[in-house]
Chains A and B, each alone.
Chain A
């Protein structure tokens, strides 16, 4: 009886949530503040407008300065609008992996385990984040300046420097002005250290028509794995309750991992949606909710935490606190 009531409560919360989602800014609308804003450079507006229709095939170097050993690798990227294919060159530690997106879903083939991970498509989210950035510029939360860019993969670029309101550089974008394709991107942390970048070393911006099969991946003997499967496996392994936001919430589970934070093992669930990224953390201990809100406040983010048994769940995202609180009631078990 109590289980039925709990389920009913979650369903009601879900309905309210979906209804209130309209009150949140819809990232897919192009009737947005950046469209008319003089604070957003034309080259960036062009990149956002045309980015969804770009066609190219190229090779890019991607580098992250996040771990004790730098993660640098090359990718071969084929793109046709919202469809894409990413492969890794021979000799790469990721050689054999294939990532395809058909505009609706993403499939990642992992040959080492003969698994196909079925995930939410990322392409649209990438474009929405660029539009988010432009919105923030239109609202004065970040500042855009333009300058001549360097030649990237043989093409001249326009550089867009993104700074916060204090003048700290947060990103550099190098955009090919005719196609609007982002050929190089550098991302910096709050202290100004470069934490990641990609750069195309070769690219064909006018490729011939692609065979549609390039953007599909099916393999009969491969095991299909969804992020919820991965959540159940990890939760079982690490003795966490397998709790998650259901797809009906509008948030799609993208990635699940266990991280060690301040000596605590934390189950990290990353979600994507039209309303931006969201993280759900599961901890086996308590934490200070006031301190959590205080730290979030300084970053334009919001956080909401609540106890579940002996553990704690935390939602962190750019959505407002009331929304996060309502979202918390939609978290259910996935078993």
Chain B
């Protein structure tokens, strides 16, 4: 161990090593200038300010957005619009959204219905249950006799 250390010392004291050491010592000291340092600090301060402002904004915006999303969800799921009263016996397509158009459409539907019904059951008739079905099956009479 001592022998290795002595070898290492001798090699470090060699002329070539001393030459390199002198060269390195002679290199100029490249410490940043104060002006540069000052500009850097100012730039960093600006970035920090922006980051902080953004953090403050997100601190408020994220919970607000979450609240808005939850409120919209709750509105859709739990708040019922005014009761929609369908015309009994038919579904109104969007194109007949006015009273006038609906009357025309209803007449047309009645004509088409009779093409199917012929001499049989007219689906516009009240669907009160007959005696044979009164005790079985759902009671449709109220919904349809509302006509």
Contacts and interface: CB of A to CB of B under 8 A. Distances in A.
B112 interface: yes
Interface residues of A, number: 73
Interface stretch (A25-33, A141-149, A288-296): A288-296
Contact of B103 (A86, A97, A189, A316): A316
Given A66-B123, A101-B119, A191-B93, A196 B103 contact: no
Interface in B97-129: 97-104, 106-129
Contact of A67 (B88, B97, B116): B88
Given A77-B119, A291-B98, A277 B110 contact: yes
A112 B129 contact: yes
B131 interface: yes
B88 A259 contact: yes
A159 interface: no
B130 A111 contact: yes
Given A195-B109, A301-B104, A77 B120 contact: yes
Q: Which 10 pairs between the two chains have the least Cβ-Cβ distance? A: A196-B116, A292-B100, A96-B130, A279-B107, A316-B107, A295-B101, A262-B99, A291-B100, A257-B147, A95-B132
Interface of A: 60, 62, 64, 66-68, 71, 73, 75, 77, 79, 84, 86, 88, 90-97, 99, 101, 106, 110-113, 122-123, 125-126, 129, 171, 185, 187, 189, 191, 195-198, 255, 257-264, 266, 268, 270, 277, 279, 281, 283, 285, 287-288, 291-292, 294-296, 299, 301, 303, 314, 316-317
